[in-house]
Amino acid sequence: MLAHGTDPANLDEETFTDISIMYADGMIGNRGILEVLGTLTAGQFNKMLPKGASPYTLEKIIPRAHDYLYPPLDEKTKKERVSQSLLAFAMMSPNAPTQFFKGK
């Protein structure tokens, strides 16, 4: 019997996955609090920066937890996001040729 009252031999895959995720989130603290405090800290540090200085990012504030909170994208997904961003930017132009946007 485990602490949550379940026999490990009788766990289905979905329950096991849920327990694993809850355990992993607890290993670095409360995920929501980490995100909020990291963002607020970056905002406060950026408020004190002189003009022209490079801003603090969440990745600089919580480097160890950043990859856990926001897993790096694979190359295919990165290329798709760049293409979508470029297409969205091009569609904003009032004089853009419409043949590029068919099916979108």
- Per residue in 37-87, pLDDT tens? 888 999 999 999 998 999 999 888 888 878 877 888 899 999 999 988 988
- The DSSP H or E segment spanning 31 is helix 31-48
* Six-digit token string for 102: 């068919």
**Cβ pair 28, 68 in contact under 8 A:** yes
> In angstroms, how far apart are the furthest CA atoms of the chain?
67
Please state the domain extents for the chain.
Answer: 1-72, 73-104
Q: From CA 92, how far away is CA 101, in angstroms rounded?
A: 11
What pTM was computed for the model?
0.46
